[in-house]
Chain A
Amino acid sequence: MAACYFDVDGTLVRTNLVQPTLYYLLNQGTPVQTGLRLGRALLKAPRMAYAELMDRRTFNELLYSAYAGMSEDRLALLADEVFDSVLRPALFPASRDLVEKSRAAGHEVVFVSGALDFIVERLANHFGGGGVIANRLEMKDGIATGKLLKPVVAGPEKARIVRDHARGKGYDLDDCFAFSDSYSDVPMLSVVGHPAAVNPDRRLALMAKAYSWPRFDLTQPA
């Protein structure tokens, strides 16, 4: 038995981490709260743009600080809406095929994402279940602090998490698969025996070609 590790954003769905966050910000209790939160988030935008280029982990930490002060109840309440309104319409047509073929091959399906766990869990349920490795918000008295619990799922850390997960389950990493669209996931792709570039960005496409990794597109149905 082995596992298939799926990056989510850009790999299985068209969205990125910002879109669900934006949905939360736009759906606060009152227009004033929405305005304040959006304003604060916009002030951080230049730093986030810089971090996106330099360090995925810092980007995640900046992005999720926008959740500071949101209640756990509200986050859970809106999670279904976020999935239905943001993620579900953005699923690539062939994503389900790939996940189902992985399961049919007898592999454990694991979604590895920098998105928040309660959203990725809904995606996993949509695909018929599977493990979830995702970022978790720190909560204090039912209120998000805006910080992420460690380990932060991003960049090279994904590789360590995947390695630990496989070891914990007794899987041979050589038999495991990993799928991602982004060059930032090369560390994760590199630890498994069967990496694949899915809808790859230019840098990942070049790397996949150099190392003869499978490359394919989920944006078209089979």
Chain B
Amino acid sequence: MNHPSLVTLERDSAPRTLFCGDRLVEVDLPAGTRVIYPKKPMEPLADPDAAIRYALNHPLGSDPLRALLRPGMKVTIAVDDISLPLPPMRRPDVRERVVTILLEELADFGVEDVEIIVATGVHRRMKANEIRHMLGDRIFDAYWPDRLYNHDAEDTANMVEVGRTPHGHKLSLNRRAVESDLLIYANMNYVPMNGGYKSVAVGLCDYQSLRSHHNPHSIRASDSYMDPYRSKLASDIEVMGRLAHEKLKIFTIETTINNRMFDRSLDFLVKNEDELTGRERALLKGLVMSTARLPQPARHAIFDRFPAPYGMTGVWAGDVEAVHARSVERNFEQYCVPIEGQADVLVYGVPYISPYNVHAFLNPLLVQVLAQGYLFNMYRGAPLVKKGGTLILLHPCTDKFDHEQHAPYVDFVHRLLPETRDAVELRDRYEEKYARDPALIQMFRTGHAYHPSHPFFMYYWGENGRQHLGRVIVVGADNEYIPKLFGWETAPSMEEALYRAKGGENRSLEITALHVPPVIMGDVTLPGGAAG
């Protein structure tokens, strides 16, 4: 019997309504298609603040936080940036709750030298209003900007070499964090690839430190990178993270949230279309029609306007490994839907958001990383689609970039991709050169642009999808040029895309569709019960 989140379509099933960028479109999928829906949101913690206090006082594999504190010590709190969750959550953000309680604890123990660093890694600097949203007015007003600030991976004077891994890779981290008596990392484990050793080793490092694991080889060997126990990326980062945890005194706090991305009034967006009430069907139809008619900036403004009502489902503190095991387990519990066997064709609509375009347009390279990277990797056991299979994605692939945030992406897409699509060649020929681009570094440091190495990483993160898939067909593209740059085909309709996926032969295809967002992971078992 199917899991309740797995629906097999019948001949008379209603069309599925999928995201196509910031539009909703109705798509007819053949009978027999298995559609994976998000699981129901887990019940949030009844009293999150009490749960945080409990976690601090009953840590895993560590003394309680208060036992680590002494008056006059230097403490740094690092927090994840606004790239997660998607979209940003309604106030109070989980990080505000955690940091508020942390600051109270620190004050109780006479710890006054406290600074808060937003661990952006090579992401863009968060803006003041975004930090205010994330940490709340009280913390922002008391600490910004002198004691609450963004990490600056290019501030060479304030980066310190912590050591080298057995393979000789250098790890440099934020000086304030390194020179603190205690570093407390408060994370948001939105998906299983977040958190753990990655928090400090990536969030507070520099470009050179990232290079050793943010590369096509690590990504190719990850199966998948959403499954930290089978992710080469995670194990490579772990080597760096262990080094950081050996040299620094770190107390880890991890939190998880449920998947309530939309308000209850929009629950119909994540429901089986055959089970919608008449009212819900009418509302969905209205949304499909209005997103089709509204101009793009208006659609974007609407989606950008409403923070998500996510609820906190877990919080753990203490030793990084013990804590991370719990948060990953909770992530799997929320996201994993069991499914037997792999499909010939995988279908999904690529939505309008990714971790890297908060308050900005989803540019073509980010469409690529969602399509062949994040969404492709939403599995455990084996990929949702067979090796050499077809991915059909829905997205307009508009050739548009946010000039403030994504300045380095423009050159990557329009200057480098026409040269080669080979990720290894791009890394070898161009990555370091671009990563040292003084103009783009200046935009990263004083503006709100991503680091010039970031578009390279985004391309690599699509690498295992690129290696695994036989072909990618885009439905709904508003141009052919961009898909072609990524080696994708375009089709005017889902019917045509499916026909092409058959290769012109009269054969039936096993089709799986992911009804995202919110996040779903396929827990794939192969025939005979074996995981991939």
Contacts and interface: CB of A to CB of B under 8 A. Distances in A.
Contacts of A222: 152, 154-155, 442, 445-446
A149 interface: no
Contact of A214 (B154, B436, B443, B445): B443
B166 interface: no
A12 to B, nearest CB: 12
Contacts of A179: 439
Interface in A169-218: 177, 179, 194, 196, 209, 212, 214-218
Contacts of A102: 438
B403 interface: yes
Given A209-B403, A212-B401, A222-B152, A194 B447 contact: no
A32 interface: no
B437 interface: yes
A218 B438 CA distance: 12
Interface stretch (A20-28, A52-60, A93-101): A93-101
Contacts of B438: 4, 98, 101-102, 105, 107, 177
B446 A94 contact: yes
B407 interface: yes
B152 A196 contact: no
A126 B323 CA distance: 51
B441 interface: yes
B410 interface: yes
B410 A215 contact: no
A43 interface: no
Contacts of A220: 446
Contacts of A104: 436
B403 A216 contact: no
B442 A194 contact: no
Contact of B407 (A94, A106, A212): A212
A9 to B, nearest CB: 18
B446 A217 contact: yes
A215 B443 contact: yes
Contacts of B440: 214
Interface string B403-431: 10001001100100000000000000000
B44 to A, nearest CB: 40
A194 B439 contact: yes
Contacts of A4: 438
A8 B362 CA distance: 36
Nearest to A179: B439
Contacts of A209: 403
B441 A101 contact: yes
Contacts of B411: 212
B403 A215 contact: yes
Contact of B442 (A97, A106, A107, A212): A97
Nearest to B414: A212
The 7 closest A-B pairs by CB, nearest first: A196-B439, A105-B436, A222-B445, A214-B439, A102-B438, A101-B438, A212-B410
Given A94-B445, A216-B439, 11 more contacts: A98-B442, A101-B154, A101-B436, A102-B438, A105-B438, A194-B439, A196-B439, A214-B449, A215-B443, A216-B446, A218-B446
5 contacts: A106-B436, A179-B439, A212-B407, A214-B439, A215-B403
Interface of A: 4, 94, 97-98, 101-102, 104-107, 177, 179, 194, 196, 209, 212, 214-218, 220-222
Interface of B: 152, 154-155, 401, 403, 407, 410-411, 414, 436-443, 445-447, 449
